[in-house]
Amino acid sequence: MTQAITNKSSTSNRRSRWKNYFPLYLLMIPGVLYLLINNYVPMFGAIIAFKDINYQAGILGSDWIGFKNFEYLFKTKDALIITRNTILYNSLFIVVHTVIAIFVAILLNEVKKKFLSRFYQSVILLPYLISMVIVSYLVYSMLSVESGLMNKAILPLFGIDSISWYSEAKYWPYILTLVHIWKGVGFLCVVYLASIISIDTEYYEAATLDGASRWYQIRSITIPLIMPVIIMMTMMAIGRIFYSDFGLFYQVPMDSGALSKTTNVIDTYVYRGLMNLGDIGMSSAAGLYQSLVGFVLVIVSNYAVRKFSKDNALF
Amino acid sequence: MAQDSKALQWTTHIVLIALSAASLLPFLLLIMSSISSETSIIQHGYSLFPQEFSSKAYVYLLNHWQELGRAYGITVFITVVGTTASLSITSMLAYPISRQDLPWKKFWAFFVFFTLLFNGGLVPTYLIYTQVLHVKNTIWALLIPGLLMNGFNVLLVRTFFMTSIPPALIEAAKIDGAGEIKTFYKIVLPLSVPIMATIGLFEAILYWNDWFNGLTYVTNPKLFSIQNILNRLIQDVQFLSSNSDMASGVGAKVAELPSTSVKMAIAVVGVLPILVAYPFFQKYFIKGITIGSVK
pLDDT digits (tens, 9 = 90+) for B38-64: 888 888 888 888 888 888 889 888 888
The three-state secondary structure class of B295 is coil
pLDDT digits (tens, 9 = 90+) for A277-287: 888 888 999 99
Give the mean pLDDT of A111-120.
Answer: 91
Residue A313 has pLDDT above 90, yes or no: no
Interchain pair A283, B123: CB under 8 A: yes
Kindly give, in sequence order, each residue whose CB lies less than 8 Å from that of residue A63, ignoring residues fewer than 6 positions away: A51, A52, A54, A57
Interchain pair A130, B115: CB under 8 A: no
Pairs of CB atoms within 8 A across A/B: 277
Confidence of residue B234 (pLDDT cuts 50, 70, 90): confident
Q: How many CB atoms lie within 10 A of CB B64?
A: 17
Which of the listed ranges A175-179, A199-203, B36-40, B265-269 does the model predict with the highest average pLDDT?
A175-179
Interchain pair A31, B149: CB under 8 A: yes
Give the mean pLDDT of A103-126.
Answer: 93
| CA-to-CA separations, A69 to A56, A171, A281, A314, B263, in angstroms, rounded | 19, 33, 6, 34, 41
Nearest to A149 among B9, B45, B290 (CB): B45
Cα(B200)–Cα(B216) distance, integer angstroms: 24
B103 to chain A: closest CA residue: A21
Q: Which candidate in A16, A73, A147, A314 is best for mutational testing of the B interface (most B CBs within 10 A)?
A: A147
Confidence of residue A270 (pLDDT cuts 50, 70, 90): very high
Cα(B295)–Cα(B293) distance, integer angstroms: 5
pLDDT digits (tens, 9 = 90+) for B163-179: 999 999 999 998 988 88
Chain A 102-141, CB below 8 Å of chain B: which residues? 104, 107-108, 110-112, 119-127, 129-134, 136-138, 140-141
Taking all residues of chain A, what is their mean pLDDT, rounded to a whole number?
Answer: 88
Query: Distance from A3 to chain B by nearest Cα, in Å?
Result: 25
Interchain pair B293, A233: CB under 8 A: yes
Question: Mutual orientation of helices A114-125 and B259-294 as an angle, nearest 10°?
Answer: 120
The three-state secondary structure class of A149 is helix
A19 CB neighbours in chain B (<8 A) are: none
Q: What pLDDT is stored for residue A236 in this prediction?
A: 85
Residue B247 has pLDDT above 70, yes or no: no
Interchain pair A38, B125: CB under 8 A: yes
Residue A11 has pLDDT above 70, yes or no: no
Residue A58 has pLDDT above 80, yes or no: no
| CA-to-CA separations, B278 to A214, B107, B249, B283, in angstroms, rounded | 34, 40, 41, 9
Identify the DSSP state of B130. Answer: I
Q: What pLDDT is stored for residue A2 in this prediction?
A: 46
| CA-to-CA separations, B142 to A133, B25, B203, in angstroms, rounded | 16, 32, 13
Any bridge partners for residue A5, and if so which?
A: none
Kindly give, in sequence order, each residue whose CB lies less than 8 Å from that of residue B292, ignoring residues fewer than 6 positions away: B152, B156, B202
Query: Distance from B4 to chain A by nearest Cα, in Å?
Result: 7
Taking all residues of chain B, what is their mean pLDDT, rounded to a whole number?
Answer: 87
Residue B191 has pLDDT above 80, yes or no: yes
The three-state secondary structure class of B229 is helix
Q: Which candidate in B23, B150, B174 is best for mutational testing of the A interface (most A CBs within 10 A)?
A: B23
Residue B113 has pLDDT above 70, yes or no: yes
More confident residue, A146 or B14: B14
Among A8-17, A76-85, B227-236, which stretch is predicted with the lowest mean pLDDT? Answer: A8-17
pLDDT digits (tens, 9 = 90+) for A30-55: 999 999 999 999 998 888 888 887 77
Calculate what percentage of chain A has a pLDDT beyond 70: 94
Which of the listed ranges A130-134, A213-217, A232-236, B282-286 does the model predict with the highest average pLDDT?
A130-134
Chain B 3-22, CB below 8 Å of chain A: which residues? 4-5, 8-9, 11-13, 15-17, 19-20, 22
Interchain pair A280, B123: CB under 8 A: yes
Nearest to A136 among B44, B234, B290 (CB): B234
Q: What pLDDT is stored for residue A63 in this prediction?
A: 83
Residue A7 has pLDDT above 60, yes or no: no
Q: How many CB atoms lie within 10 A of CB A174?
A: 10
A32 CB neighbours in chain B (<8 A) are: 93, 108, 111
Contact B36, B53 (CB under 8 A): yes
Nearest CA to A268 out of B122, B127, B137 is that of: B122
More confident residue, B278 or A307: B278
Interchain pair B46, A147: CB under 8 A: yes
Q: What pLDDT is stored for residue B243 in this prediction?
A: 54
Interchain pair A274, B146: CB under 8 A: no
pLDDT digits (tens, 9 = 90+) for B254-276: 445 667 788 889 899 889 989 99
Run of H or E including A235: helix A223-239
Nearest CA to B292 out of A187, A297, A109 is that of: A187
Give the mean pLDDT of B210-235.
Answer: 91
Interchain pair B42, A42: CB under 8 A: no
As for the ipTM of the complex, it is 0.90
Q: What pLDDT is stored for residue A235 in this prediction?
A: 86
**Does pTM surpass 0.95?**
no
Residue A25 has pLDDT above 90, yes or no: yes
Residue A15 has pLDDT above 80, yes or no: no
More confident residue, A62 or B127: B127
Q: What pLDDT is stored for residue B246 in this prediction?
A: 42
Run of H or E including A63: strand A63-64
Kindly give, in sequence order, each residue whose CB lies less than 8 Å from that of residue B82, ignoring residues fewer than 6 positions away: B142, B143, B147, B148, B203, B207
Identify the DSSP state of A152. Answer: I
Calculate what percentage of chain B has a pLDDT beyond 90: 56
Query: Parallel, antiparallel, or unpaired: how do β-strands A51-52 and A63-64 relate?
Result: antiparallel
Q: Is the CA virtual torsion A288, A250, A174, A193 positive or negative?
A: negative
B34 to chain A: closest CA residue: A141
